[in-house]
Structure 1
Amino acid sequence: MGDVLAGIHSTWEFDTDSVLIRFERGIRTPKLFHVLAERRIPYEALSAVELAPGGKRGTVVLRAVPREGADPLLEAAAGQLKEGSDPYRLVLPVERQLLADYYATELCSVLGPEADEPAERHMVAAPPAPLSFKAYDGKASFDGQTITFRWFWTGASSAKWRAGDQSFTVDELEGVEWRSPEGLNGHLRLRPHSSDGSSPGGDTPPINADQDPASVVFGLGYGLVYESLPFAASVLAAVRAAEPVMALEPAGSTPHGSLPRQLRADPADIADRIRHLGELHESGLLTDEEFTQKKAELLAEL
């Protein structure tokens, strides 16, 4: 198409095979858009295009509907995004309704023959690594292959301190669970494969995220962690990309376990963590045996 359609909070630039969505960084722009900056959406990743009246008087909304499974960002969001934070919505003044209708018609004409079918793979690129963000109880980092959680001793639970800082590779995971920081119990949880290579599940209730070393939490009053969703999408895309490789592993080979590996820390960090363990021990949250064992593990890292 080769044209540009500027709206409120974002601009759509139409190319021959995709639309580039550029997000503004204004004061009233949703903070998620600030983090995303821009996204390129292939037309083959779309299932439909809609034009409807806007939520505010004097506006219309042009919305592209992605195919199920085509976008790791929406897969990670799992329907939790509020309407105003939907990156596929372009809000326009009502004066541009005829122009918006033209582009809606043009987009519909370039949808692929499989538009109504779920996508077999991610077609929209996830935000690229490296990525990191600070949650309430720790810092999460992802370099494209390994996810690390380093706990904050002012926020992490004693269970997480017992487990120590965590490291997971994408081929150890079967998925990601994201709960919006705009509601209760916001968190990012990694879902490792079970020790026998199967996916965890069944009737066993999940561990609370604040006690799970495979999770970081977004505490009430801590603020909205807008970086967490692009982070989750990037990890999910890497996990999906690793699945065919895992399927080619020889039968009988040892599967990747679900237990995360501890990170090595510098001496100053080790000392801080031992001091915190001592405080937990004195308060009765750690037994003598747990304190002695964990202290020995930390000293062994030096």
Structure 2
Amino acid sequence: MGDVLTGIHATWEFESDSVLIRFERGLRTPKLFQALGALGERRIPHEALESVTLAPGKRGTVVLHAVPRAGADPLAEAAAGQLRQSVDPYRLVLPAEREPLAAYFADELRSALSRERTPDREEPAERYLVAAPEPPLHFKAYDGKASFDGERVLFRWFRTGASSAKWKAGDQDIPVADLQGVEWRSPDRLDGYLRLLRRDGTPPVPSAPGRTGAADGTDAVTRPDHDPAAVVFGLGYGPVHESLPFAAAVLEAIQGSTAGSRAAVPVLAAARRDPADVADSIRHLGDLHEAGLVTDEEFSAKKAELLAEL
């Protein structure tokens, strides 16, 4: 097609076999879009899409939504459904007066998907079809700096922020070949983190201080702030949206090292929270609210999110 549709914070170019997405990098642009924009354009092949919708948005807008196919995009896989609609990279928001033009492009894209549809299109993709951001990549978390060169992930701990368990374990240099997946929690929460999942399943912290007991008496997963295979971030720490493109790049590299085996690249969503951790997070949220760093609306919304995780 080769036509261009410019929306709020992003521009989509419709080509014969893909959609090319370019994100703005302005001050009012969502931080994730800024991070993606800094890394260049995203090309979404038609075979990576499941469907296309056009619906009314908020405050006089319409939203063109290209729904990605399961397993096709490492960025969407890493996000695991945690992104708010306002930062969904597959949503293009436009002024309502541009609805006729958006409807035209939506119909054109639907037709292209229909022509190219194959019997296996309804199934999850067997390999990633959307390219992840290219290494080298890095970002600063609360307790350390994460770097990825395409073959190895490095965690370098900060003197302020890193737990004693992480200092005892030392800086981490983990080859992609030793990994089987990632676990990413959105930095829009109080306790975001990026955890690397090792192939051998060896607990990263062998001693008790970093672990919390499960209800059945067994050990639960090591807390991210005590896990040398994880870096933590979140509200009040300076949200680091660079962490999601980073996680996507690691996932793509893991899949490449396993000859395209989808089963060998798990992406874990955060487990149900320990009540004590939730209580600590709510207290921290209250401190930020009293200090004027969180609005009344943000306080209520995030408190509700935390309580829903119990």
TM-score by length of 1: 0.76
State the alpha-carbon separation in 1 of the partners of residues 189 and 67 from structure 2. 25
The match for 2:19 is 19
**Comparing 170-179 and 109-118, the one that deviates more:** 109-118
Amino acid at match of 2:50: S
Contact 1:48 1:115 in 2 (8 A): no
Greater C-alpha radius of gyration: 1
The match for 1:129 is 135
- Note the C-alpha offset of 1:95: 1.2
Amino acid at match of 1:42: P
Contact 1:146 1:167 in 2 (8 A): yes
Task: Trace 1:60-99 onto structure 2 (pairs within 5 A).
Answer: 60-99=62-101
State the alpha-carbon separation in 1 of the partners of residues 260 and 12 from structure 2. 36
State the alpha-carbon separation in 2 of the partners of residues 7 and 220 from structure 1. 28
Amino acid at match of 1:2: G
- Note the C-alpha offset of 1:204: 4.2
* % same residue: 65
Query: Which residue, 242, 252, 268 being the options, matches 1:237?
Result: 252
- Note the C-alpha offset of 1:124: 0.3
Runs of 4+ in 1 over 4 A off after TM superposition: none
The match for 1:145 is 151
Task: Trace 1:133-282 onto structure 2 (pairs within 5 A).
Answer: 133-194=139-200, 204-244=219-259
What is the Cα-based RMSD across aligned positions, in Å?
1.7
| Secondary structure of residue in 2 paired with 1:244 | coil
State the alpha-carbon separation in 1 of the partners of residues 72 and 23 from structure 2. 20
Structure 1 residues 181, 195: closer, same or farther in 2, change over 3 A?
Answer: closer
Unaligned ranges ≥5, structure 1: 197-202, 248-302
Structure 1 residues 107, 246: closer, same or farther in 2, change over 3 A?
Answer: closer
- Note the C-alpha offset of 1:220: 4.3
Structure 1 residues 245, 28: closer, same or farther in 2, change over 3 A?
Answer: closer
Structure 1 residues 246, 73: closer, same or farther in 2, change over 3 A?
Answer: closer
Q: Alpha-carbon deviations, 1:259-302, whole Å to 9, x = none?
A: xxxxxxxxxxxxxxxxxxxxxxxxxxxxxxxxxxxxxxxxxxxx
State the alpha-carbon separation in 2 of the partners of residues 195 and 10 from structure 1. 40
Structure 1 residues 141, 74: closer, same or farther in 2, change over 3 A?
Answer: same
- Note the C-alpha offset of 1:127: 0.6
- Note the C-alpha offset of 1:246: 9.1
State the alpha-carbon separation in 2 of the partners of residues 90 and 16 from structure 1. 19
Length, aligned pairs only: 240
- Note the C-alpha offset of 1:67: 0.3
Q: Alpha-carbon deviations, 1:57-94, whole Å to 9, x = none?
A: x2110000000000000100011111100000011111
The match for 1:266 is none
- Note the C-alpha offset of 1:223: 1.1
Contact 2:79 2:184 in 1 (8 A): yes
State the alpha-carbon separation in 1 of the partners of residues 224 and 232 from structure 2. 6
Structure 1 residues 246, 27: closer, same or farther in 2, change over 3 A?
Answer: closer
Are 2:23 and 1:39 equivalent residues in the alignment? no
Contact 2:188 2:235 in 1 (8 A): no
Amino acid at match of 1:43: H
Structure 1 residues 220, 9: closer, same or farther in 2, change over 3 A?
Answer: closer
- Note the C-alpha offset of 1:193: 1.3
Contact 1:171 1:246 in 2 (8 A): no
Query: Which residue, 87, 91, 106 being the options, matches 2:108?
Result: 106
| Secondary structure of residue in 1 paired with 2:162 | coil
State the alpha-carbon separation in 2 of the partners of residues 63 and 49 from structure 1. 6
Structure 1 residues 59, 213: closer, same or farther in 2, change over 3 A?
Answer: same
Structure 1 residues 115, 94: closer, same or farther in 2, change over 3 A?
Answer: farther
